[in-house]
Amino acid sequence: MENDEGKWGLINQTGQLVCPCEWDYICGLSEGLFELEKDGAKAVFVKNGLKVITCEWTEMNGCCEGLAAVQNEDECWGFIDKTGSLAIPCQWKEVRDFDNGLAAVLNNEYDWAFIDKTGRVVIPCPWQEVGEFRNGLAAAQDWGDEWGFINKAGHAIIPCNWQKVRAFKNGLAAVQDWFGDWGFINIS
């Protein structure tokens, strides 16, 4: 809701103001979290607790599986939980949303790995690039620029020998060979 001075606030389903109209910007992060900004300073509004938490985050992403990615002033990424508390320390160059309990993270050596919701690296993968897990497999690019697929244990189930790949859908993945031809492969 915007007031006459151009400031934003939040109302609930009954129209009751639950967050005062004092913010320059409000963005829904999903799962009950909202990003607030006033005079360049960011805050988080927690819907379930009906409270505003000031924070030092320079960027925030949407909430997936109960965790939202946040970036600190050192440009490192971590995750906050639905209460607005830091759940996974900001130590990554880049992060992706959680999906099936795992999030891809980029370390200081520019290798991608996967962490669980506690922040523990569960798939230490020295990959140049990775995709999301679909049908239990994630696309992974090695440092020779070749793509293949890894499982949740980090093992290359489909060797990296493709120029490009697309995620599995309905048991098939599109792949491009080094001649530029596209085709499909199955999981087995």
Instruction: Convert the pLDDT of each residue in 168-179 to its tens digit.
Output: 888 899 999 999
Q: What is the pLDDT averaged over residues 17-28?
A: 88
pTM, full prediction: 0.80
Average pLDDT, the chain: 89
* pLDDT-derived band at 118, boundaries 50, 70, 90: very high
Q: What is the pLDDT averaged over residues 104-110?
A: 92
* pLDDT-derived band at 49, boundaries 50, 70, 90: low
End-to-end CA distance of the chain: 53
* pLDDT-derived band at 35, boundaries 50, 70, 90: confident
Cβ neighbours of residue 18 closer than 8 Å, sequence gap 6 or more: 9, 10, 11, 12, 47, 50
